[in-house]
A and B are shown apart, each in its own frame.
Chain A
């Protein structure tokens, strides 16, 4: 770069902006996000169908089914991320991955512990459990979203805000007729994940690696 072209003060400002953008981009997790969201969506929808078909409606059955689904989705996501890392000859446990896991873990663990506790109280707490999961999952996604593309933070916010909307509707409209919690979980953890995965796949194609 020639010195004369650099003597423009505007250039220094632009350079600082470029550095900021690059540093932010470097810290973002992008690996296999669309496939992970698609997998989570499919697991959510299949779990909803299983729950409805076998009438797994008691709190214990509901929590066992959806916790099982969460474990399947988490393990599948880790495998997808690992496969992508191997394919790209990159370290799996990279610093963006570490940051995302550290942000996700506390709210997810809190939601899981609370829901396990609910199974010991009463046997008809399916809707309350789904509210808790949507809320805590939204918090997890929102905090991890600071280290991922913007869509993930928005998705987290959508989960958090709509969980309160769901609670309101549940409290006001469905006092007499309980909504089936499997439908709620299927819509949130199935349909919304699937929609986000398709959106990311179409808009971020080819950039799904960290």
Chain B
């Protein structure tokens, strides 16, 4: 088995929680903090940590606003994040393809 594609996997995305966040955001234009938390059944602290890591990498953008006087935090995938996610999936598909019996 060729280990090279494994080694190329993006370490930031390649974590269960962060991968789940990226997957949800890839399918929606934007998602609020509570939508992400409820969909992934994560604690506020855990989700905040993962979001911060993805934000530092430039993969997601956070916007804070108010909706009916209540704070609303929304997350969107940046173009860099979309590109990194697409590359991550390409690599996974490559791994699956190269290990399929011929």
Contact = CB atoms under 8 A, between A and B. Distances in A.
Contacts, number: 87
B102 interface: no
A172 interface: no
B3 interface: yes
A204 interface: no
B23 A91 contact: no
B37 to A, nearest CB: 10
Given A3-B6, A7-B3, A9-B95, A89 B23 contact: no
A203 interface: no
Interface of chain B: mostly helix, strand, loop or mixed: helix
Interface in B23-47: 23-32, 34-35, 38-39
Contact of B96 (A12, A22, A95): A12
Chain B interface size, as a band, is 35 or more
Chain A interface size, as a band, is 20 to 34
Interface string A67-92: 00000000000000000001011110
Interface of chain A: mostly helix, strand, loop or mixed: helix
A23 B74 contact: no
A12 B91 CA distance: 9
B46 to A, nearest CB: 16
17 contacts: A1-B14, A7-B1, A7-B3, A12-B92, A22-B23, A22-B24, A23-B26, A26-B24, A26-B27, A26-B28, A27-B28, A86-B67, A88-B32, A90-B32, A91-B72, A94-B35, A96-B28
